[in-house]
Amino acid sequence: MGQERLHERHLRWSDVRKPLSSGRPRGYRPSHPRGSAASSGGPVPTYVYDFTQGGMDQRDLLGGKGANLAEMTRLGLPVPPGFTITTEACRAWLATGQEPEGLRAQVDEHLAGLEARMGRRLGQPDDPLLVSVRSGAKFSMPGMMETVLDVGLNDESVRGLAERSGDERFAWDSYRRLLQMFGTTVLGIAAEHFHDALGEVASLHQAPCDLDLGAPEWREVVDAYKGLVREHAGREFPQDPREQLDLAVRAVFDSWNAERAVLYRRQERIPGDLGTAVNVVAMVFGNLGTGSGTGVAFTRDPATGQQGVYGDYLQNAQGEDVVAGTRNTLPLAEMERIDARSYAELLRTMEVLEGHYRDLCDIEFTVERGTLWLLQTRVGKRTAAAAFRIACQLVDQGLIDEDEAVRRVSGEQLAQLMFPRFATGTSAERVARGMGASPGAAVGRAVFDSAAAVARSRAGEDVVLVRRETNPDDLDGMIAARGVLTSRGGKTSHAAVVARGMGRTCVCGADALDVDAAARRMVVRRPGAAPLVVDEGEVISIDGSSGDVFLGEVPVVDSPVVEYFEGRLDPGGEEADDLVRAVHRLMSRADAARRLRVRANADNGEDAARARRFGAEGVGLCRTEHMFLGERRRSVERLILADDEDEQEEALAALLPLQRGDFERLLAAMDGLPVTVRLLDPPLHEFLPDLTELSVRVAVAQARGGADEADERMLQAVHRLHEQNPMLGLRGVRLGLVVPGLFTMQVRALAEAAAARTQEGGRPRVEVMIPLVGSVQELELVRERSEEVLREVERATGVELAALIGTMVELPRAALTAGQIAGAAQFFSFGTNDLTQMTWGFSRDDVEAAFFPAYLERGVFGVSPFESLDVDGVGRLVEIAVREGRAARPDLKLGVCGEHGGDPASVHFFHRVGLDYVSCSPFRVPVARLEAGRAALAEGGGSDSR
Amino acid sequence: MGQERLHERHLRWSDVRKPLSSGRPRGYRPSHPRGSAASSGGPVPTYVYDFTQGGMDQRDLLGGKGANLAEMTRLGLPVPPGFTITTEACRAWLATGQEPEGLRAQVDEHLAGLEARMGRRLGQPDDPLLVSVRSGAKFSMPGMMETVLDVGLNDESVRGLAERSGDERFAWDSYRRLLQMFGTTVLGIAAEHFHDALGEVASLHQAPCDLDLGAPEWREVVDAYKGLVREHAGREFPQDPREQLDLAVRAVFDSWNAERAVLYRRQERIPGDLGTAVNVVAMVFGNLGTGSGTGVAFTRDPATGQQGVYGDYLQNAQGEDVVAGTRNTLPLAEMERIDARSYAELLRTMEVLEGHYRDLCDIEFTVERGTLWLLQTRVGKRTAAAAFRIACQLVDQGLIDEDEAVRRVSGEQLAQLMFPRFATGTSAERVARGMGASPGAAVGRAVFDSAAAVARSRAGEDVVLVRRETNPDDLDGMIAARGVLTSRGGKTSHAAVVARGMGRTCVCGADALDVDAAARRMVVRRPGAAPLVVDEGEVISIDGSSGDVFLGEVPVVDSPVVEYFEGRLDPGGEEADDLVRAVHRLMSRADAARRLRVRANADNGEDAARARRFGAEGVGLCRTEHMFLGERRRSVERLILADDEDEQEEALAALLPLQRGDFERLLAAMDGLPVTVRLLDPPLHEFLPDLTELSVRVAVAQARGGADEADERMLQAVHRLHEQNPMLGLRGVRLGLVVPGLFTMQVRALAEAAAARTQEGGRPRVEVMIPLVGSVQELELVRERSEEVLREVERATGVELAALIGTMVELPRAALTAGQIAGAAQFFSFGTNDLTQMTWGFSRDDVEAAFFPAYLERGVFGVSPFESLDVDGVGRLVEIAVREGRAARPDLKLGVCGEHGGDPASVHFFHRVGLDYVSCSPFRVPVARLEAGRAALAEGGGSDSR
C-alpha cells in the first residue's frame, strides 16, 4: 500500500498529465537528453531517469517499481512526479565504495527539475517539498530493502508543513516518522530504541494508542528521537534536506548487500550483482481529512478471476494504517459513495492499465483532498482458478492469443486445481501440523500399520495410515489408505515420494506425534495443553497442502478438474463451469503445441489405465519391485534363502506366472502405446526383515530360553546380505549379473505377456530397461542374455517381439560414458532421482530431514534438487548424455522417469535439451502436458515459465 | 619353449644368413615387393610377409612373435625360414566371414618360395616339408590362442619322414601329434577323446608312459585318432597338406574370437578388433638324437639381474617334453660340455640380441643335429630387483641412457622391493589362505580385539590383529599390530585400505577362519582335516603378498630398500649393495625429471616424519577423524549427546587443546612444507556404538529385568543419528554447517597451532580443506566463518597466518561445477575414492566382496576402479574440474589425495591432466615419485608405463 502523500495545493493531476500529450508541465525544466553524459566532460552514463523518460521494458535499469511508474506516467495516468536513480549507479557505487562520478550532478539537475515543476524546493521552510526514497530492484524482494519517507522535513520545515496543511499534529507525526525511518535505515540504530522512546511518552501521557497523541506529544517524541540519534549515531540528525536525500539514497544502495537481502537472493536464486534502483517521488498524503484516503484495487477478482471491482479503501488514512490493521477497510465499491469523482477516475484508470498490461493489474493509490494519485502498479498475483479463467477471458476479449494464454498459466496452478480440499469453516480441532508433502484432503480412521489399513479398508472403512516413517513394506497400507501421516521425514521421504506418486494425500514430519505402532495409537504433544491420545479407529483429517492435522472429520470438496480429466465431466456440457472449460481449452492448445511426449510411471494396470485417461502416451517406468511384495514375499524369501540353484530356480518359476499376469494387465491398459519395464532395482535385503529388529527378537528369545529356528536362519541371511549403504550396494544390474536367473525370469515373463497380448489381438509395445548401469560391459552382458530369452519366446510362440532394450541413466558414469553405452542401448531413460543422489552424494532418505531445512534457510538450495532438477550439476550430466548418446546412435530414444518428469521447471529443461518424452506419476501427467506445451510456446517468443 | 623342429639335411644356418648380407639363399625366390598388391589386378593389401621382410616395429601388423622372428632374421641370426600372415588379413576375414581376396594367391606365392628355398614341397611324400602354424597377436595372450605343429604329414609323407630321419617312432609320434592338434583346434573335437584313446592303447600294451610306446603302438594311436576325427567331425582327416595348412590358418584366425580369448581381452583391456597374425614356420626338431636338443636362455639372470649364462637345456628333446616335466633339464652352462660349438654360437647370439634389444632377452632355441635354430625371442620378464639392477647395468654399458633406465623400472617393482618377506624354507604350517591385501610379512601373537592388541603391544609383544572385518574402532589395534588378518572383505575393505595406508601387512577375506572375538579365538576350517583352534596368544605369521596364513613363527627378512629410504643405509656406503645403489640412482633421476610433486597422507606427526624421510614434499591429506578416536571418544560422545549448545561448546572446548597439540606435532614434522588438513568428514554416528549391537544389549537387559540407563540414552541418540546410507548422509561440510561449532573448533585449533609454531621459529604452511562440497554456496559459508576464526587468532597472537582454504573434489557435482567452486577455493584436492564411489554409485565397503569378483571375471572391470583410476568416467570428471577450475582461477592449486595418488597408472593420468601434486600413503611416496618421473620422461618419447 502506498505511503507517499503529496502536500501541495496547486499541483493537479491534470497539470501533470498535460505535458505528456501537449507540452511541458508548469515549472518543468528539461533534463539532459536520455543517454548523454551528465555534467562533467567525461563519458558518464545516464544514472538518473525522470518518470517521463522510462518505460515498463526497462526493469533491468530502473527496477520493477521505477519501470512501472514510468510506464504509467507515459500512459498519462496520475503519478506523482519523481525520478529513478538506476541500478547501474548502484552497481558502480557498490563496486567502488564511492559515489559514481557524475551522479551528484545528475541528481542535482533532476531534483531541480522536480522542484521547479512542484513550484517549491526540497524542505523549503515555509512550504516544503517532501519526497520518499524507495528501493525498487528488477525482481521483487518484499520487505528486504529500505525506504525512507518524508525526506525534506527538519526543525523549520515541519512548521511550514503544519501551517500549509493546517494540521500541526500531522506535521509533527510526519517529522517523527522521518526521524524514525532515517534513524534505523540510514544511521543503523536499533528499532527498539525508537519503540521504547515512543512508549515512554505515551505512558507519561497515559495515551493507550498512538492516535491519542496530539501535536505537543509528537513534539516530545521528536525531541526524544533526536536524542536517540545523538546518542547512538554520535551525530545530530541532519537538518539539511539535501544531505537527508543523499544519505537515504546511499542507504538504499547499501541495503542491497544487507545480510537478509543477500540471504533472500541466495534462496531465490536472484543474481547478487544486479543492484537496486532508487525512486525519489514527491510525497502525497491520504490522511488530510475525509476527502483523502488510500486503497488497493484489482482489475479482476484475484481469488476467482471474475471481472468487476475488487479491492479495499480506507478514508483519511495512510498506507501504514492499513497495514497496521488498526482500522477496518471498506470494500472498494463503497468508495463510490464517499468520493464518486475519484472512484470514477479510478475505474477509468483500471481499464487503461488492464488494456495496456493485458492482464490483471494490482494498483496502489491515494486520494489527496479529492485528487487521485497512483503510487504503484504491477501484474497482480492470483489463485490457480483465477489464472485459468482470466487467461481465457483475455483471449475472448481479444487482448491476448491462445498461445499467450497457455504461457500465462502454470503446471503448479493446474496441480492445485486437481486436489480435493477441505471445506472451509470446520469445527474440527487442529491438533498438529507437519509438512504438506502431497496435496489433497484425506479423512479416515487412524491406523498404525499396513495390515490394519488393508483390513479396515476391505471392510469398507476409509483409513489414514499413521507411521513414524514408511518403508516399502507399508505400500499395501498406503494403497489402501486415503492418506498418509508420518511423524518423521521431509518432503522427499519415502512416504512423501510414494504418496505423491500415487496421488495419495500425505502429511509428513509432524513431529508433535509420538507414534506407537505396537500399542496401536499415537500421542499428540501440544504446547500448553495435555497430550492427546489417538487410538486406532478414531477419525482424523489431514490437509496435504497446509500440513494440518485435525481430530475428527472435516468435510471434503472434490475437484471438478479431476472429474474432467477422468472423463466423468464433459467440458462442453452443462455441468462444466467456466474453470473446467478454461482448463480444457488451454490443455488442448498445450497438447497441440508441445514437442515432448508425456508418459506415466505406473506399476500396474489400474494406474496405467488412469494415467491414460489423464493423457499419458505410454508408461515410462514400471517398477517391478512392487510386484515382489505382499503375498509374493514368500517366494522372494525362498529365492534368497535357497541353498542351491535348483531351489532358486523353483522360487523363480513360482514367480514367473504372477509376473506375466502383471505385465499382461499393464500392456492391456496401454495397448498400442510404449511400456518401459525396469528390471528389479532394489537390493534383495529390502525383501527381508530389518536387521536390528530381527536381531533383537532373536536375542530376546534366546535370553528367554530359545529362539525360533526359522528366525535364526533368517537372521543369518539378513546378516549375510546386510549392507552399510544399500543405495550403493548389490542392486540393479549388479544383482542381475550375480543372480542371473532373476532378470531372465523377468524378461521371460514380459516376453510371454507380450506374446499372449499379441495373440489376443493386442498391440503391445515393450521396452526392457536395465537399471543402474555404469559401464557398457554390464549392459552388453544383460542385453545378450535378454535377447536370447526374447528369441526363445519368439520361437516358442511364433510371435515376433519387437522389444527395445535400453538402460536407465542414473549413475554419473553412465552419463559420462553415454557414447559407449549408446552402442548397446536403444533408449536411455534418465533416472534423475538416483542421478541427483549420486551427483550430490546424498541419499534423500537420510539427508532431507537432517539438513535440507538448514540448506534451504541458508540459501545453499533455492529448492530441493529432488523437487526441481539441479541444472548446473545433474542437468549438465543429462546434457552430456543426450549429446554423446545421440552422436553415437542418432535414433536413440531419450526420456526421463524420475520425479522431475512432473516438475514444471524441469520439464522446460528437458524440452530444451531435446528429450523425446518425460514420464511422471499419473496425477502429474496433465501438469507435464501443460508445461511441455508452455515450453514449446516459450520458444516462439513470449514469457518463459520461470 | 619352442615346439618347431626343422627336418632338413641340406639347409644350414650359414645358408640362411647369407642372403641378408651377400645375396639370396639357395632356392630362394623373391616374393612381391613389400606393400604392393598380391597377384590379382585389384588394390589388394600385402597380407603375407616373409621373415626377411618385417621387423620389430611391426607388432601391429605382424604380431609380437612375427615381428621378433623377422627382426632376428634381419640380424642374420639362425631363424627357420617362414612367413607371417598379417593381422589385417585376420581382421578382414573376421569382418566378412570370408577369405579376403588375394590372400590365397599371396600364400601360394610365399609357400612356393619357402618350398623352393627348402628344396622340397609341403608334405612331399618322400621328404616332406613340415611347418608349424602359430598365432601371434600384438599383445601376448598366453594360452589363449591356437597352434598346429607338423602340418604337412599324411599317410604317405609320414613314411618319407621316417625314412629320411631314420626314426620311425619319431615319424608316427609326429603324425599323431598333428592329428591331435588338428582335431582339437581345427575340427573342435574335445581333447579328452584323444586322451582316452591314447590311454586305451597304452593300457592294452601295458605301457606305463608314452616313452614306452614304439612305432607300432603310435601307428595304432594314429588309426584310433583318425577314427575319432571321422566319428566327431564327420569327415576324414584331410590328406592334402595344403588343405591342412589353409584350415589351420583359418582356425588360428577364428581363435581370436573364442570365448576365452574375448574374456581375456576384456579383462586385460586389449581392444577386441586388433586381430591376430599367423606365423607359418619350417619345422626343426631337437629330438633327433643326442646331437639335438632344446632349451631356453636368458641374457641375464631374471631373478637377480646378474650378468652371466642363465637358462636350461634338454638333450634329445622337444619343447613339449620340457613343459611336461618328465625329464630334468640341465643348467644351460652344461650345454658347453655336450655341444661346445652350438653353445658358443648361442652365447654369440645372446650377445647380439641383448645389444640389439638393449635389454634382457628371453630366447627359445633348438639344436637339430648340431645346428642352432632360434625359435623365438622377446624382452624377458624379471623380478623387481633384477629390473633395477639390469637398468643400471645397461646404462653403465652405454646401451641406454638414464632416462630410459627410469622408464624400464616401475613403481610396482619398487613397491615389491620395499616389503619385508618371509625367509624361504620355513617349517611352519600353512593353515589358510586369503587375499594378499597389503604386502609384507608379519609375525605375532593372535589377538581378537583392539584392546588386547594395544595391551599386549604395550607389554612389548608383537601381535597380529584377527577380526571378522575391521571398522574405525579397530584403528588403535591396527596401529599396535604388526599385521591384520580378516575373514571377510576384499582388497578394498576397511582393513585392506587402512592397512595399506599405514604400510601394515594385511591378509583379508581368509574365509576358512571363523573368528569368535568374544571367545578370543578362531577356528580354522581345513579341507580333509579337523578344524584347528587358535587361541589368543598363539603365534601366527601372515604373508601380505601371497595371502598365506601360517601357524607358528616364520622368520622375516627386512628390506634394505626401506632402510635406504628411511635414511639408515647410505647408498654410497659399503653396506649398500648394488640394488640399493640402483634404486638410489634411478630415484634421483626420476626426482629430477618429474613435474608432479608428491605429498603424503599422514594423520599424525610420526607418519608425517616418516613420509618426509620417504621424500614427501608435504602432507596432502590429514584426516582429522582419527584425532577423535581412542580416549577422546568420551568428549565426542558428550558433544553428540549434549542437550543444549552450552554442553556442546564445553565438549568442543575440551577437544580444542588436544587437536591443537595434534596439529603442532604435524606441522613440526612438515615444517616449511604445505600441510593440508581436512575438517571432520565422517558422520557423527561413527563415533557411537553400532545400532544393532546396542539394541540387542538393551533389549536383552530389559528382558532380564532392566537395562542400563546410560545404554538406553545412548540407544536413543544412536537411533536419532542412524542413517540408511551413512556414506550419503549427514557428514563433511553438511555436518559442518549443521553443527557449526565443530569446524570452528578445528580451524581454531589449526590456526593456534600454526601461530604457536611460528612463534617458536617454525615455518608452518597450512591448507584448510573442506570435505564433501557439492556447491559453491556450501564452501562460501564455511569459508567465511573459517576466515573469521583465522583473523581472530591473528589478532590474538599477532602472528600473520597465510592459510589457504580449499576443498576436496569428491562429489561429481563438485567437478561439474568446478568453475563456480573455484571462485571460493584456493585449491582443489581430488578425493578420488569417494569420487569413484559416487560416479559408479557403489560403496567399496559393500560391493567389493559382493560382486567385484564376478565383474573382474566377466571383464566389466579390468582392474578395480578403487585400485586404478577409471579414466573414462572418474577421470573425465577430474579433467572437467581441472580445466574449468583453472579457467576460473589460473593459480588454483590442484592435487589428489585418494588411494589413486600412489597407483602407477593413475599417477601417469594425473601427470597428463596437469595436477600440481599427488598425495598418497607414506609407503607409496617413493612409488609415486618414481612414476611421476617416468610419466615426465615418457612425454619426451620412449616407452610409456602402460
B728–A837 C-beta distance less than 8 A = yes
The tens digit of pLDDT for each residue in A839-857 reads 999 988 777 667 776 787 6
- CA distances from residue A262 to A181, A255, A273, A278, A647 in whole angstroms, order as listed: 21, 9, 10, 18, 63
**How far apart are the C-alpha atoms of B284 and B267, rounded to whole Å?**
35
Domain B594-683+723-938 has CATH 3.50.50.60: no
CB B743 within 8 A of CB B782: yes
Q: Which of B695, B860, B872 sits opposite A817 (nearest CB)?
A: B872
Q: Which of B696, B723, B860 sits opposite A846 (nearest CB)?
A: B723
Enzyme catalytic residues of A: 494, 897
Does residue B82 surpass a pLDDT of 50?
Answer: yes
Does residue A283 surpass a pLDDT of 80?
Answer: yes
Helix (H, G, I), strand (E, B) or coil at B523: strand
How large is the average pLDDT for residues A716-726?
86
* AA identity, residue A851: F
Structure-model confidence comparison of residues B592 and B716, the more confident one: B592
Label the pairing between strands B556-557 and B421-422.
Answer: antiparallel
The tens digit of pLDDT for each residue in A244-274 reads 999 999 999 999 988 778 877 765 668 888 9
Top residue of A267, A813, A858 to mutate, by most chain B CBs within 10 Å, is A813
Closest of A809, A849, A817 to residue A833, by C-alpha: A809
A842–B729 C-beta distance less than 8 A = yes
Label the pairing between strands A147-151 and A131-137.
Answer: antiparallel
Question: Residue A313: pLDDT band by 50, 70, 90 thresholds?
Answer: very high
How large is the average pLDDT for residues B388-407?
96
**How far apart are the C-alpha atoms of A349 and A366, rounded to whole Å?**
13
* A278, HSE (Cβ side, Cα atoms, 13 Å): 30
- CA distances from residue A57 to A358, B564, B830 in whole angstroms, order as listed: 15, 76, 46
Question: In sequence order, which residues have a C-beta less than 8 Å from that of residue A446 and are 6 or more positions away?
Answer: A463, A464, A466, A485, A522, A534, A535, A536, A537, A538, A539, A540
- The mean of the pLDDT values for chain B is 88
What is residue A596's predicted lDDT score, i.e. its pLDDT? 98
Question: In sequence order, which residues have a C-beta less than 8 Å from that of residue A526 and are 6 or more positions away?
Answer: A431, A432, A512, A532
Here the cell at position A489 is: 521425514
**How far apart are the C-alpha atoms of A559 and B926, rounded to whole Å?**
72
DSSP E strands: which ranges in B138-286? Answer: 147-151, 276-282
How large is the average pLDDT for residues A614-641?
88
What is residue A14's predicted lDDT score, i.e. its pLDDT? 40
Percentage, residues of chain A above pLDDT 70:
91
B810–A728 C-beta distance less than 8 A = no
A812–B877 C-beta distance less than 8 A = yes
If one counts every other C-beta atom within 10 angstroms of the C-beta of residue B239, the result is: 13
Question: Residue B855: pLDDT band by 50, 70, 90 thresholds?
Answer: confident
CB B921 within 8 A of CB B501: yes
What is residue A9's predicted lDDT score, i.e. its pLDDT? 35
Torsion-angle region of B282 (φ positive above 0: left; ψ -120 to 50: alpha; else: beta): beta
A696–B777 C-beta distance less than 8 A = no
Q: Transcribe B729-788 into DSSP letters.
A: SS-THHHHHHSHHHHHHHHHHHHHHHHHHHHTT---EEEEEE-S--SHHHHHHHHHHHHH
pTM here is: 0.81
CATH superfamily of the A293-382 domain:
ATP-grasp fold, B domain (3.30.470.20)
Percentage, residues of chain B above pLDDT 90:
64
How many separate helices (H) and strands (E) can be counted in chain B?
36, 31
Here the cell at position A893 is: 530414444
Helix, strand, coil % over all residues of chain A, rounded to 5: 50, 15, 35
CB B677 within 8 A of CB B769: yes
Does residue A525 surpass a pLDDT of 60?
Answer: yes
Structure-model confidence comparison of residues B383 and B200, the more confident one: B200
Here the cell at position A890 is: 542418432
How large is the average pLDDT for residues B205-213?
77
Contacts of B723 in chain A (CB under 8 A): 843, 845-846, 850
Q: Which of A613-617, B178-182, B302-306 is the least confident region?
A: B302-306
Q: B30-39: long-range contacts (C-beta < 8 A, 24 or more apart)?
A: B30/B113, B31/B109, B31/B110, B31/B113, B32/B106, B32/B109, B37/B102, B38/B102, B38/B103, B38/B105, B38/B106, B38/B109, B39/B102, B39/B105, B39/B106, B39/B108, B39/B109
Does residue B10 surpass a pLDDT of 50?
Answer: no
Closest B-chain CA to A837: B728
Helix, strand, coil % over all residues of chain B, rounded to 5: 50, 15, 35
How large is the average pLDDT for residues A488-498?
73
Q: Kindly provide the b/e burial profile for residues B852-861, where b requires at least 16 CB atoms within 10 angstroms of the residue's own CB.
A: beebeebbbb
The tens digit of pLDDT for each residue in A569-597 reads 999 998 889 999 999 999 999 999 999 99
CB A667 within 8 A of CB A757: yes
As annotated, the residues of chain B forming the CATH 3.20.20.60 domain(s) are 594-683+723-938
What is residue A145's predicted lDDT score, i.e. its pLDDT? 67
Q: What end-to-end distance do the CA atoms of chain B give, in Å?
A: 26
B266–A841 C-beta distance less than 8 A = no
**How far apart are the C-alpha atoms of A558 and A563, rounded to whole Å?**
8
Closest of A89, A117, A96, A125 to residue A11, by C-alpha: A117
Closest of A51, A49, A47 to residue A71, by C-alpha: A51
How large is the average pLDDT for residues A595-616?
96
What is residue B7's predicted lDDT score, i.e. its pLDDT? 37
As annotated, the residues of chain B forming the CATH 3.30.1490.20 domain(s) are 1-153+241-283
What is residue B209's predicted lDDT score, i.e. its pLDDT? 67
To which H or E segment does residue A364 belong? strand A361-368
Which of the listed ranges A683-697, A888-902, B680-694 does the model predict with the highest average pLDDT? Answer: A888-902
Contacts of A257 in chain B (CB under 8 A): none
Q: Which of B691, B738, B817 sits opposite A872 (nearest CB)?
A: B817
Does residue A143 surpass a pLDDT of 60?
Answer: yes
Top residue of B497, B685, B702, B728 to mutate, by most chain A CBs within 10 Å, is B728
Q: Which of B51-60, B636-645, B846-855 is the least confident region?
A: B846-855
How large is the average pLDDT for residues A621-644?
85
Q: Which of A124-138, A681-695, B276-290, B323-337 is the least confident region?
A: B323-337
**How far apart are the C-alpha atoms of B512 and B531, rounded to whole Å?**
10
To which H or E segment does residue B838 belong? helix B832-840
**How far apart are the C-alpha atoms of B712 and B715, rounded to whole Å?**
5
The verdict on whether residue B321 carries a ligand-binding annotation is no
What is residue A121's predicted lDDT score, i.e. its pLDDT? 95
Give the ipTM.
0.81
**How far apart are the C-alpha atoms of B132 and B150, rounded to whole Å?**
6
CB B809 within 8 A of CB B880: no
| B863: exposed, middle or buried (Cβ count in 10 Å: 0-12, 13-18, 19+) | middle
Place of cell 640394488: B579
Closest of A559, A408, A409, A415 to residue A926, by C-alpha: A415
Structure-model confidence comparison of residues B857 and A34, the more confident one: B857
What is residue A624's predicted lDDT score, i.e. its pLDDT? 93
Here the cell at position B398 is: 652405454
Question: In sequence order, which residues have a C-beta less than 8 Å from that of residue A891 and are 6 or more positions away?
Answer: none
What is residue B708's predicted lDDT score, i.e. its pLDDT? 86
The tens digit of pLDDT for each residue in B889-904 reads 999 999 999 889 999 9
Question: Residue B861: pLDDT band by 50, 70, 90 thresholds?
Answer: confident
Hey, what CATH class is B155-239 in?
Answer: mainly alpha
Question: In sequence order, which residues have a C-beta less than 8 Å from that of residue A46 and are 6 or more positions away?
Answer: A32, A34, A35, A36, A37, A38, A86, A106
Contacts of A851 in chain B (CB under 8 A): 730, 734, 737-738
Place of cell 492469443: A401
Question: Residue A324: pLDDT band by 50, 70, 90 thresholds?
Answer: low
CA angle A96, A97, A101 (to 5 degrees): 65
What is residue B946's predicted lDDT score, i.e. its pLDDT? 33
Closest A-chain CA to B873: A813
Q: Kindly provide the b/e burial profile for residues B86-113, where b requires at least 16 CB atoms within 10 angstroms of the residue's own CB.
A: bbbbbbbbbeeeebbebbebbbebbbeb
Give B492→chain A minimum CA distance, Å: 14
Classified by CATH at the fold level, domain A420-558 comes out as: Glucose Oxidase; domain 1 (3.50.30)
CATH superfamily of the B1-153+241-283 domain:
ATP-grasp fold, A domain (3.30.1490.20)
**How far apart are the C-alpha atoms of A156 and A160, rounded to whole Å?**
7
Helix (H, G, I), strand (E, B) or coil at A132: strand
Question: Residue B398: pLDDT band by 50, 70, 90 thresholds?
Answer: very high
**How far apart are the C-alpha atoms of A65 and A375, rounded to whole Å?**
9
